[in-house]
Structure 1
């Protein structure tokens, strides 16, 4: 398995796209319209299935990391366009057989087009049937963009585009509720340690320093695996659970080796709930009706 660097990645991607017969799947955190157009032009017109999965957070669009126009371009040129809000992967898959996995987004800098290329690394791998099942799961949990959803997204984007505030903004609940990912496994490093919500504090499970901007940290936390797991678990339990049963569920979900003790899981869960309260997450209500903490989804 050869490791590819920078401009080698683009050459390899184009070479594989030329070979595509049945399908092309692109998974990328960021995506620029000009780069997508170029990749699309390298695909044989007889390829029937083209799928694009993008992270597409509102603040990504406002900061210019991703172009809003990729939605319309993709749909008009035969792509099924999906969006998630927790995506970090960069993967290019051809005919469900070959895949490039690495750090290169579908942007000029990611694929080293022009003079402003990043130093990226990637490698081509053979894709096994089990891998395809996992990748299909990413698409199944994502939001498939249609004209109505695109109109709603555009309306929200236009409302905030000219605002000075560019961090910590999110789509409204009419969009967020469409994204219900299923988190079937967690590692202990994805759970919060003890913390103080003060400037300079490092949240290792988010790989993020708190700079005093609570809205920014709140938006990053919103798409962490542990918070998505919590929402999904509550939905499966009629929107409400008590601390003990939630702790047991979390213990069964964590797959780290060695697995943390139950007392450690309870401490991490307590840290999670305290962070939810301090960040004032709108979706969750935490109270104590019978001495034990009750965690429930608001307006479930």
Structure 2
């Protein structure tokens, strides 16, 4: 069943009213949607929310800190995950809705106007539930102390700070994230989907890279975002672990293939394209740290020495 516009919020209202449990994964969250939740969800029904809450999300209000705070102090378990882009609503661990609608005023058209979103009602399998639990386990639980830190961050920064500041430093310093390690693995969504050296007509790939690497910013901000990404940390860690701090194209492709944890892995030819995309990013955005040359007909990726 596909639902468009106001039809989705009506189905969500009916589902909330009869729910015994609720899980929501939504990049954005605003207060009108939280008011809708409290109005429709019966008191005492356990609910969990995973939201994105990147620095720019908090400062722009697209992920409303007051909404997160209200839910937390009302007993709803909230989690932050900077990778979240999905919009998923799970009712009673048996059925749900998936689509483009964030849990916001515009996403649900609560005021009678808003974005034109499309959602589909689906059955939820044990495999789906396991995947959602994995997302929650990889997310940061919201606590009173974390809310205080976020409030200080919001008070002390303007939206321009979020656009120009490296995302990893904000998360590492404010939220205490551990550094990425090779054992963490990769997912296809961590990889660049377009080749920066060639124009792309794939709108989905462009949208993915725009979201992951913040293409709407200045070149300097994009560079900082890329260097804060899992895939760049993976490349640096892999080079540091390699002999002579260098890897050839085929070696890097094999490492990426081995690190992927997706349930369905891409074909080897697809992984080669992802690595080619990655090299285009390294050439444009990390040339101060990474050297790329082509001895013996194969591209070689090397760590630059600190005194270069």
**Counterpart of 2:142?**
145
Correspondence list, 1:101-116, <5 A: 101-116=98-113
Q: Does 1:24 align with 2:28?
A: no
Stretches of structure 1 that go unaligned for 5 or more consecutive residues are: 197-202
Indicate conservation of the 8 Å contact 2:107/2:117, yes or no: yes
Match 2:163 to one of 167, 190, 193: 167
**Counterpart of 1:256?**
266
Cα 1:260/1:35, change in 2 over 3 Å? closer
Give how far 1:24 is off.
0.7
Cα 1:164/1:183, change in 2 over 3 Å? same
Match 1:214 to one of 212, 219, 233: 219
Stretches of structure 2 that go unaligned for 5 or more consecutive residues are: 199-204
Give how far 1:30 is off.
0.8
Query: Secondary structure of the equivalent of 1:30?
Result: coil
Indicate conservation of the 8 Å contact 2:106/2:114, yes or no: yes
Indicate conservation of the 8 Å contact 1:108/1:117, yes or no: yes
**Counterpart of 2:43?**
45
Give how far 1:194 is off.
4.3
Cα 1:139/1:274, change in 2 over 3 Å? same
Query: Secondary structure of the equivalent of 1:167?
Result: helix
TM norm structure 1:
0.76
Query: Secondary structure of the equivalent of 1:206?
Result: helix
Match 1:59 to one of 56, 70, 76: 56
> What is the CA–CA distance in structure 2 between the aligned matches of 1:211 and 1:39, rounded to whole Å?
32
Give how far 1:62 is off.
2.0
RMSD: 3.6
**Counterpart of 1:200?**
none
**Counterpart of 1:12?**
11
Which of the pair is proportionally richer in strand? 1
**Counterpart of 1:185?**
187
> What is the CA–CA distance in structure 2 between the aligned matches of 1:257 and 1:183, rounded to whole Å?
18
Give how far 1:44 is off.
1.7
Query: Secondary structure of the equivalent of 1:53?
Result: strand
Q: Which stretch of the first structure deviates more once superposed, 34-43 or 133-142? A: 34-43
Query: Secondary structure of the equivalent of 1:36?
Result: helix
**Counterpart of 1:199?**
none
> What is the CA–CA distance in structure 1 between the aligned matches of 2:63 and 2:282, rounded to whole Å?
32
Match 2:88 to one of 91, 94, 107: 91
**Counterpart of 2:282?**
273
Indicate conservation of the 8 Å contact 2:190/2:231, yes or no: no
Give how far 1:252 is off.
3.6
Query: Secondary structure of the equivalent of 1:259?
Result: helix
TM norm structure 2:
0.75
> What is the CA–CA distance in structure 2 between the aligned matches of 1:150 and 1:212, rounded to whole Å?
27
Give how far 1:258 is off.
6.3
Give how far 1:88 is off.
1.1
> What is the CA–CA distance in structure 2 between the aligned matches of 1:211 and 1:140, rounded to whole Å?
30
> What is the CA–CA distance in structure 1 between the aligned matches of 2:7 and 2:179, rounded to whole Å?
36
> What is the CA–CA distance in structure 2 between the aligned matches of 1:30 and 1:228, rounded to whole Å?
22
Which of the pair is proportionally richer in helix? 2
Deviations 1:6-42 (A, max 9, x none): 1000011111111211x21111111002211221331
- How many residues are matched? 276
Give how far 1:270 is off.
2.6
Query: Secondary structure of the equivalent of 1:243?
Result: strand
